[in-house]
Structure 1
Amino acid sequence: MKTLDPLAGISAFLAVAETSSFSRAADRLAMSRPTVSAQVQELERRMGVRLLQRTTRSVALTEAGEAYYQALSGVLPQIREAERAATSFQQEAIGRIRVSAPPDLGSDHLAPLVAEFLKLNPGISIDLDLSMDAVNLVEEKFDLAIRGTISIEPNVVTRQIGASPIQVCATPDYVQRHGRPERPEDLARHACLHFARLRWGRVWHFSRKDEKVRVPVVPRFECNEGRSLLSAALAGAGVALLPGFVVGPAVRAGRLAVLLEDWAIATIPIHAVYPANRHIAAKVKTFVGFLADRLGRHPDILAE
């Protein structure tokens, strides 16, 4: 049997040299004796020199074999240490995690959780990149993305770690000046603050029991980032359609009023997305599990 792996041949040679026996070398390496013999023969063939002198009763190093053994005697421990260092990233929660997340979720929610996570896991560092763009995880070398909307793409694994209901909100002052909408259709006469990346486009969807209503909107203000729309809503510019994780604190503080409360809108799933790989690093698994636990306790996010 020939092998293309020179390290396999080296391991076999060193084992035979140290035990003076193909059988004992095979036992040490958990291989069959013919496999060990074949690997040593392939190593000798590739090098063009005989390393072992074989007789029916013994195995001894040739002069070339002795020189080769002395040169290699420190190699295997280094290789094993290198393997241990590499596999530790798979088995232990250590290393750096590159994470992509949207700004409206990242700044207010993920950043404080990252700080808590780092205290609990001193062997991990995190690089958090805040962007509305759906990054290519493999090409841009991200370990993980947290996304509020999901676009199916090849070679990724997704895990839902939470969800946040969408709400229609405006300031109490705006409602006093312009009236409270009683039905979704009433929004046509209101100044609508629209999230530009809404997957339905400029149409707001509502449902109540078996009734479904689609409301086309002509935005008074349109933006691709939730916190900017929140600022506009808090300034009294109009009615905003935003997820609970953006408007929740302002609602609880009385700065925003929830409108059309008896109508259901959508719920935004929050996903952890990472490259498809059977060997997900322990650091990523640990971080995703932590986020799912903490986000599940958040008042504006439903548990996974």
Structure 2
Amino acid sequence: MSPEITRAALATKHGKESIFSPAFAEIGVVVTVAEIDTDQFGTFAGEIERQGSPRETAERKARAGLEALGLSIGLASEGSFGPHPSTPFLLADTEVVVYVDTELDYSVVEVARSISAVPPAKVIVDIADVDSLKFTNVFPEQRAIVVTEEPQSKSRTLLAKGIDNVDELRSTVAQALAAQPHTVIVEPDLRAHHCPDRRKVIGTAVDRLVQRLRVTCPECNAAGFGPVRTTPGLRCGLCGLPTSLPALDVMGCSRCGFETEIARTGEADPTFCDRCNP
């Protein structure tokens, strides 16, 4: 890291400074929270739809934060949930973290993904269903939201979020059930300060970002030189033909575009060879 970079704006309203600050302190960066409404970029509860990809959204947050504080460095993260790429029947939490430098006009991105351990959403048809919810075992650290959904249009109405106890959950659900025919759904509150599982994944992504920022580009000296992609072709240990496993790691700089390749050592297990294991 360049020694003149001492302050960075963090766009958050959900306590992410507890994750970012200690990690960035290790490389001499003081993180300052930018008091902006990050909900404007989209909410998990669905009141505001996210526009653009997680990376685009994270960068917009970071830029809004640095502009609010008059700094040249901005930090932000954006999470999303969906099928795990390698195990589609499991839910994955993917967290994108970004470092934006407007003075040097570039950004650095890191990503972490983990199988989600948050309690699943559940449709409630009777007040007794509340007692079987997994949320009751993880209150108050993991919180819940209650929404209603119109059966035909599927439009959603948020009734409450940040619920951290069974009594409040039962009361909110009871009121919602009384307003049938809407579908009543209890979901996890996925905001970072109310979702311990997300905080862990964000922490992993932040650690990766900090480690990447420790490495400077050999061409332009910008922080953040690191892996950008892999090239397949690691040779089979039995027949010697190329396989789909990575043979090269491509390292690159997001500022100047300089890249270099690092060859992987060893040989591929024949299990991954189309000839030996067709």
**TM-score bracket for this pair, using the shorter chain length:** under 0.3
The answer to which structure has the higher helix fraction is 1
Q: Taking structure 2 as the reference length, what is the TM-score of the superposition?
A: 0.20
Higher relative contact order (CA 8 A, sep 6+): 1
Larger radius of gyration: 1
The answer to which structure has the higher strand fraction is 2
Q: Taking structure 1 as the reference length, what is the TM-score of the superposition?
A: 0.19
